[in-house]
Homo-oligomer: A and B are copies of this chain.
Amino acid sequence: MKLNSSTLKLSEFLPYRLSITSNLVSRYIASAYSERFGLTIPQWRVIAILGEGIEQTSKGLVDLTKMDKVAVSRAVSQLVTKKLVRRIAVQTDGRLALVRLSKQGKDLYEEISPLALDLERKLLDQLSDQEIQDLHKILDKLGHSVPEIQV
C-alpha cells in the first residue's frame, strides 16, 4: 500500500478516513440507541459510566466521557427529566452534585449494555483479535499525537 507521503489524495488522507468511518459508526450506534431506547449518545455515555460504578459528579462525568461540561450538563438534565438518574447534593461542598442511576436507570443499563456489546461485536466482526488489539493501540497513539487536549 502506498503510504501517501508526497501526494495528497483525499480518499487516502487519514484524518478524512478516520472522520468518515467514525461518523458512519456513530450514526449506526446512535440510531440503535435512539430507536430502541430513546437515548442520545451523550445520554448513553453518562449512563454507561454510571453503570460501571456507583455515582459520579458532573466533573467526573466530564473527565470520564471526554465530553465537554455543557454536553454533560445537558445530558444529565435530560436524564433527570426521564427519571433515569437522580442528582444528590453534597453536604460538604455546595458546588457539587453526585449523579446516580435510579432503579429505572439501572434496569435500562442492564438492558442496553448487552445490546451495546452486541453492536460492537457486529462492527468488529470482520476484524481478527489481533486487528482489534492493533486498533486499540493505534487509537491510543493517535490520541497522544494530537497536540493540546489529549484523549
Residues of B within 8 A of A127 (CB): 138, 141-142
A20 and B151 contact, CB distance less than 8 A: yes
The verdict on A108 contacting chain B, using a C-beta distance below 8 Å, is no
Known contacts A26-B19, A141-B127, A142-B25; A51 and B8 CB within 8 A of each other: yes
Chain B residues near A120: list those with CB within 8 A: 4, 13-15
If the complex has contacts A18-B25, A131-B138, A133-B1, are A8 and B144 also in contact, measured as CB distance less than 8 A? no
Assess whether B17 is in contact with A19, with CB atoms less than 8 Å apart. no
The secondary-structure label for the interface of chain A is: helix
On whether A64 and B22 interact (CB within 8 A), knowing A17-B139, A126-B141, A138-B134, the answer reads no
Stretch at the interface among A75-83, A94-102, A111-119: A111-119
**Nearest-neighbor residue (CB-CB) of A22 within chain B:** B22
9 tightest CB-CB pairs across the interface, nearest first? A22-B22, A8-B113, A126-B141, A10-B48, A18-B22, A21-B139, A15-B29, A28-B146, A24-B146
